[in-house]
Amino acid sequence: MTFLWLVAGAALVVALVGWRQARAMARRQQQLTQMYWELKYQHGELRQELQRLSSGGAPPEPPVSRPTEQVIPLSSLRR
C-alpha cells in the first residue's frame, strides 16, 4: 500500500513540474509572438522611411479622399 502512495506522490510531483513548465513555455511563446509583431511593424515603418528617403525626399502623396456618404431614396432602389 505504501508503494502505491509513493507512486501517486511521484506522479503528482511530475505533473506539477510539467504544469509549471507548460505555463513557462506558454508565457515565452506569448513574449516571442509580441516581439515578432513589433519587429514586423518596425520593419514596415523602416521600409516606408527608406522609400521616402530614396525617392529624393519628395513629400508623400496626399491621402485619397473618401467619397462623401449620400442618402439614396428607397424609391430609386425598387425594380
Query: Which residue segment(s) compose the domain that 29 sits in?
Result: 22-55
| Segment holding 37, helix H or strand E | helix 2-54
Task: Give CA–CA dist 40/75, Å, rounded.
Answer: 49
Report yes or no on whether pTM surpasses 0.75.
no
Residue carrying the nine cell digits 424609391: 75
Residue 33 lies in a domain: yes
Distance CA 67, CA 79 (A): 26
Tally of structural domains, the chain: 1
Asked, for residue 71, whether it belongs to a domain, the answer is no
With respect to residue 41, please indicate whether it lies within any of the assigned structural domains. yes
Could you report the per-residue pLDDT of 49-78, keeping only the tens digit for each?
A: 999 999 876 566 667 777 777 777 777 776
